[in-house]
Amino acid sequence: MSQAALVSPCRSGVSRDPGGEDRAGRFVSRRMGVSVAGGSSFVARAASRLAPLLQGVAVAFVGMGWCAPAVAQPDPNQRIGVTVADAPSPDYRFERFVVASDDGLRQWRVNLGIPRQRAPRGGFAALYMLDGNAALMEFDAAALATLAQGRPPVLVFVGYDNDLRIDGAQRTGDYTPSAVDDGLGQGVRGGGAARFGEALIGTIQPEARRRARIDRSREALWGHSLGGLFVLNLLYTRGDAFARWFPASPSLWWDRGAILGEPERRFLARQLARPASVTIAQGERERAPREGAREAADPRAAAHRARIGVVPADAARRLAERLRAMPGLSVCYREFPGLGHGPMLRASLLAAAQTMADEAAPPCEAAPER
């Protein structure tokens, strides 16, 4: 049993459990070593149907049959603001809970979107998303309505209990399997993937299943960048935890490419505990990056180029080829034309969501044309 703690369950951000009041005005209770607190959402499909609903909003990924609000290049200090998780929806109901680590240094906020329609006999599919605050911002009310027309999945956004879109320090600690000094003057960082994996599988996943009727044979995990590295590492160490795995633009360079060595060999030498599928996604410009003059002159950018240069530019594609040798594992490699690392967060998220929502979709599709 995970030592993470559930911080009191509540809906619409208001706790009903007795206990102390935290700084955000939520009442917090403790049980099972966990703290639960308590409200989530999605991105749109079928752009031709949604365009009239999204007046004034740019539509992207039309070739995929999905649309989403256009945004500027992500700002690492960007705040979440109001999302669809904060508003009533006729298609989804929203709950929120907070899980605290046993040492109290981490609090993961989980926004849960549960379809209002009756669950299928075996339960809903479920998509668990890392960087949950950022993922939540890619969803809108029109998308929820589109999902509700079919067989919508439960949406599980696993983020941090703050208003940052991306919490760089915490995600580096949680999503990496080893601690390293990356030479950026920040000392030794990372190495908390095993601990976070225990919280995800031991506390967050069971709590999501308790709150929603979920088909355990149709649960999936998505992550981007360091999140993609975490997805691969968890597949290698706890392959029974999810049926589908979506590592997007995985940071294979972490710790000088360690994930491509012994962890991969140990995984390929074992038998899968259950059949599974993995889709490795990468942007075309990640393999052949184009650099502006500013980036070329930035010493931090140069240091990052040196870090990622320890693995081949096509390491993700080669990894997919090697994983295909694993019996019981269906493996896809999807490359997104014209996209670099940042835009791949949205593109890969939409692709994963489409796959989970469309049961008729083949397990491995060609990447959408731009």
Active site residues: 225, 295, 341
CB atoms within 10 A of CB 197: 20
Contact (CB, 8 A) for 250 and 192: no
Contact (CB, 8 A) for 39 and 96: yes
Paired tokens of 318: 């080669």
Q: What burial class does residue 90 get, using C-beta atoms within 10 Å of its C-beta: 0-12 exposed, 13-18 middle, 19+ buried?
A: exposed
For residue 275, CA distances in Å to 68, 167, 224, 280 come to: 32, 33, 23, 17
Paired tokens of 369: 């044309």
Distance CA 192, CA 173 (A): 5
3-state secondary structure of 334: strand
For residue 36, CA distances in Å to 24, 29, 119, 201 come to: 14, 7, 24, 16
Per DSSP (E only), the strands in the chain are 5-11, 14-15, 20-21, 27-28, 44-45, 66-67, 92-100, 107-115, 124-129, 154-160, 179-181, 188-190, 214-224, 244-248, 276-283, 329-336
Distance CA 84, CA 355 (A): 22
Paired tokens of 70: 């256009």
Residues, the chain? 370
CB atoms within 10 A of CB 81: 9
Distance CA 110, CA 90 (A): 21
DSSP string, 38-83: ------EE-HHHHGGGSTT-----GGGTEE----PSPPTT-B----
CB atoms within 10 A of CB 24: 13
Residue 195: closest CA among 86, 91, 101: 101
Bridge partners (DSSP) of residue 179 are 190
